[in-house]
Amino acid sequence: MSLTVVGSIAYDAVTTPSGSRDRMLGGAATHFALAASFFDEVRVIGPVGGDFDAQSWETLQTRGTNTDDVELVEDGKTFFWKGEYHENLNRRETLETELNVFESFQPKLSPAAQGCDVLFLANIQPDLQREVREQCGSARFVAMDSMDLWINIDRDSLVQTIAGVDCLILNDEELEMLTGAPSFVAAAREILTWGPSSVVAKQGKYGAALFTPEGYFALPAFPIDLAIDPTGAGDTFAGGMVGYVAAHEGEAVDHDLLVRAMVYGTAMASFNVEDFGTERMVGLTGDEVTGRVAELQRMTTFEHRPIGLRS
């Protein structure tokens, strides 16, 4: 079994109603790997600069994540993002973005990375995602993320890339924007005709929904008393979900497997928001994850006892 992720590795500066951090490890590939590493060996592909310190390397390698394919640009600086969350974390404002080494990133995959069983294409330029997908031709399951930027400026390339993957993971508004459909439900069902066999609509604090030709499944977010920082929650969700799929080598990736995988992704995302950046996920234990999955099952299961209804 092996799992490859291609995406950003970054430093973030974040302010939320609960406090702030001036410099913390982030990036889509980082958050994904921290969650997926509970399930399988993860190989991370992404660039960092000479400012990427020893503690960051150690965090990225949590639970044995393989960083051999991380590109170190000694004379460059690591991608940096600064943002602020307002009110109840419903609105995020980007204050600063420095692409740095990420601006000229051209993914370089070792034979081991190319031979992955499962591949996740985190949010990068769609042409680069497609190039990586073509290099990993033997992958039995390929999932991808994207964002509104590429929908607005590179939609044709994005649609072409989507056609070559098994699962598209986007938030509900992005699905509607991508298709022009009046609802994310209609949007997801349209995208299923483009090539993917599954679509996941992320709905933030409201949970997520899965669409496949076999059916539909929705799951609420796990209720927590206080969300500290939602940065990376979507990538953590993807890491839990895709990691679970990777752990089931030889099992058909059907609706039932993806339902179970989405539950693990939901549990992982709920831990991510309980602290800033990667702080909660680094110390997270398998027993904690298993316990929260059990709670999600308890919360969402009921016994149907039909009664006669008045007409």
Model confidence pLDDT, tens digit, residues 263-273: 999 999 999 99
At which residue do the structure tokens 């960051």 appear? 56
Residue 81 within any structural domain of the chain:
yes
What percentage of the chain exceeds 90 in pLDDT? 96
Question: In whole angstroms, what is the distance from residue 78 CA to residue 89 CA?
Answer: 26
Residue 310 within any structural domain of the chain:
no
Number of domains present in the structure of the chain: 1
Residue 215 within any structural domain of the chain:
yes
Confidence of residue 11 (pLDDT cuts 50, 70, 90): very high
Q: What is the mean pLDDT of residues 162-169?
A: 98
Structural domain harbouring 252? 3-299
CATH of the domain at 92: 3.40.1190.20
Contact 72, 8 (CB under 8 A): no
pLDDT of the residue at 311? 85
Residue 305 within any structural domain of the chain:
no
pTM assigned to the model: 0.96
In 3D space, the residue among 189, 229, 240 whose CA is nearest the CA of residue 213 turns out to be 189
- Give 95-153 pLDDT, tens digit per residue: 999 999 999 999 999 999 999 999 999 999 999 999 999 999 999 999 999 999 999 99
- Give 262-298 pLDDT, tens digit per residue: 999 999 999 999 999 999 999 999 999 999 999 999 9
CA of 216: how far to CAs of 17, 22, 184, in Å? 35, 41, 13
How far is residue 244 CA from its own chain's centroid? Answer: 13
pLDDT of the residue at 179? 98
For 215, residues 6+ apart whose C-beta sits below 8 A from its C-beta are 255
How far is residue 149 CA from its own chain's centroid? Answer: 17
pLDDT of the residue at 1? 64
Question: In whole angstroms, what is the distance from residue 188 CA to residue 99 CA?
Answer: 31
